[in-house]
Amino acid sequence: MASRIEHEFIGAFAGGVFATFNNDEANPHAVNVATGALLGKYAARLPDMFEPASHPNHRNFFHSWVFLGTLGVGMYKLTKWEPKEGYEKVLKWFVLIAGVAYASHLLRDSITPKGLPLV
Ligand SMILES: [Zn+2]
């Protein structure tokens, strides 16, 4: 089982990398990367907040391949959205980083001996 700190580290890395390549021109680059890493750190905790790792078979729907696929489709559709307002751009950026960090958690869990359930 991957530890919470490991998930946070991977999520922060994923959020930081995402922010590095998806910058908002309004903000300094370093601020965006740091914000992305911080958001990624916390968003990577979400799967275990929905389904706490209190027993070996805690992985259910929010840890499943179906959820990961649904998340991927949702994020893909979100990348096609072209927000007009500033707050919409920020919201899109935040949701995409949270999604990347969430996915990083599931992908890390998928390579453990227990893996992920289909549904
Ligand atoms: Zn987990």
The residues, ordered by sequence, that sit 6+ positions from 95 with a Cβ below 8 Å of its Cβ are: 78
Instruction: Say how many Å lie between the CA of residue 41 and the centre of ligand 1.
Output: 14
pLDDT tens, residue by residue, 11-32: 999 999 999 888 766 566 888 8
Instruction: Say how many Å lie between the CA of residue 77 and the centre of ligand 1.
Output: 25
Q: Reply yes or no on whether the pLDDT at 49 is more than 80.
A: yes
Per-residue model confidence (pLDDT) at position 112: 92
The residues, ordered by sequence, that sit 6+ positions from 11 with a Cβ below 8 Å of its Cβ are: 40, 41, 42, 43, 44, 45, 101, 104, 105
Per-residue model confidence (pLDDT) at position 37: 96
Instruction: Say how many Å lie between the CA of residue 72 and the centre of ligand 1.
Output: 17
* pLDDT-derived band at 1, boundaries 50, 70, 90: low
Q: Reply yes or no on whether the pLDDT at 36 is more than 80.
A: yes
Instruction: Say how many Å lie between the CA of residue 82 and the centre of ligand 1.
Output: 32
Token output for 94: 């935040």
Instruction: Say how many Å lie between the CA of residue 90 and the centre of ligand 1.
Output: 27
Number of Cβ atoms within 10 Å of the Cβ of 36 = 27
